[in-house]
Every structure is written in structure tokens, then in C-alpha cells.
Amino acid sequence: MGREEEARAKVDQFILDEIDSVPHLEALLLVWNRRPKQWSAEQMARELYVQPERAAKILQDLANRSLISASRETGPAFFFYESKSSERDDLLDAVDRIYRAGVVRVSTMIHAKASPAVRDFARAFRFKKERE
């Protein structure tokens, strides 16, 4: 497997494991590409064309997965990218590059995934079934 195919496989797996929706991916890439900028939910909402409540949920989801960081010094949270490893930085660079080159392919892959609620339900059922 060549370098580009290996990178694409890693990116695809990352998206399948960590990204719930196209707006989640778009928010992650905005935070990544405009680092060290700190984002409020309102700022992200304007960029993604969603309501501030939806942007806040997306940003919090990404922070909960440790893909971005949150700062709550006073008032509302601000979100930003904090480098934790060169491997993660390289992966996000590849995600950005591969998404730009194949927006339709990546978007289709995200839309084809089951919703997070369905995946959580399936995991719970699988766990219960294994215990029986």
C-alpha cells in the first residue's frame, strides 16, 4: 500500500470512528486551519450556517472526544486546537487534504454511517447479548 493509500485509509477510519456529521468535520477543520484562534459557539454558528445551540453542541462533542480543547475562564466557552502529538497533527493535516480533494466521497461516507444514537443503541444491545 502506497503512502497516499495508507493516509486515506487512516483518514477514513478516523472519520468513521470520530466524526458524527459533516458539520462536525467542517468545525474541526475550521478550528484546525485557523489555529490558534479561539472559537465561540456564535462564531462557529456563523461559519457553519447553523444555530448557535447546534454549533455549541458540535464544538462540545469535538471537545469531549479530545479533538479540540475548551477554555472556560469566565463566561461562555471558547474552543481551540491544542497540539497533543505530531501524529494527531499529521492526521488532521491529512484529513484536511483528503477532504478538500474528495468532498463528495467523504460527505457520502459520513452520511452513510448510522446516527450516533443508533450506534449507541447497537453497542448496548451487543453488550447485553454478550452477557447473557
State pLDDT tens for residues 100-131: 999 999 999 998 986 665 556 655 665 544 44
Evaluate the omega torsion of the peptide bond into residue 36 and state whether it is cis, within 30 degrees of 0.
yes
- What's the confidence (pLDDT) of residue 41? 97
111-19-50 Cα angle (round to 5): 75
Question: Please, is 58 exposed, middle or buried when counting C-beta atoms within 10 Å of its C-beta (0-12, 13-18, 19+)?
Answer: buried
Predicted confidence (pLDDT) per residue in 17-74, tens digit:
999 999 999 999 999 999 999 999 999 999 999 999 999 999 999 999 999 999 977 7
Which domain CATH number covers 99? 1.10.10.10
- What's the confidence (pLDDT) of residue 73? 74
- Comparing C-alpha atoms, which of 76, 77, 106 is closest to residue 8? 106
Rounded Cα distance between 88 and 90, Å, is: 5
Predicted confidence (pLDDT) per residue in 29-45, tens digit:
999 999 999 999 999 99
Q: How many domains does the chain divide into?
A: 1
- For 11, the domain range is 3-131
